Amino acid sequence: MQSIKDKNIKWWLGTMSCVVLFSTIGIFALMKMSFLLKGVQVEAAIERSGTAITYITGKAEHATHISLNGREIYIDKDGSFRESIALIPGFSVITINTEDKFGKSKEKKFQLVYKESAGTVAFNSK
């Protein structure tokens, strides 16, 4: 049996090509399958208006189920959604729950303060 020192250049080139090839395939596969590790990615924003009706818009990538304050809302093929919500004067918490097809879930909360007399909304996203 030959030791590693005694191997010829052809063996080293073949071994290194295989290492580079399989490393490249592994890195590519990890990049393409990273959504399995990350789960659902949720981006949401509140469109402010002068009335008590406010719209929540956003995008939930890789989501199969999404709910706003416990009620199911619908998303399009790209994962985009737009839903209206009626605010009451004072402090409100809006919760968006999402779940992907592998059972991973994510929650996004908005804390809102609506002042009816001023017609303004202040919000904090967590």
Is 20 found in the same domain as 77? no
Q: Is 117 found in the same domain as 55?
A: yes
pLDDT at 8: 84
We report the CATH number of the domain holding residue 76 as 2.60.40.10
pLDDT of residue 28: 93
For residues 117 and 79, state if they share a domain.
yes
* Total domains present in the chain: 2
pLDDT for 125: 62
State residue 124's pLDDT score: 60
**In the prediction, which pLDDT does 42 show?**
83
Beta strands in 1-126 (DSSP E): 41-47, 53-61, 65-68, 71-72, 80-86, 90-99, 105-115, 120-125
Containing domain of residue 107, as a range?
A: 39-125
Claim to verify: residue 69 and residue 89 sit in the same structural domain: yes
Same domain, 55 and 114: yes
Q: Mean pLDDT in runs of 10 for the chain (126 residues)?
A: 76 92 93 76 80 84 87 88 85 87 84 70 58
Please list the alpha-helical segments (H only) found in the chain: 9-32, 34-38
Distance CA 79, CA 58 (A): 8
Pair (9, 51) in one structural domain:
no
Say whether both 115 and 56 belong to one domain: yes
Residues 28, 43, single domain; the answer is no
The pLDDT of residue 126 is: 59
Based on the fold, state whether residues 66 and 82 are members of the same structural domain.
yes
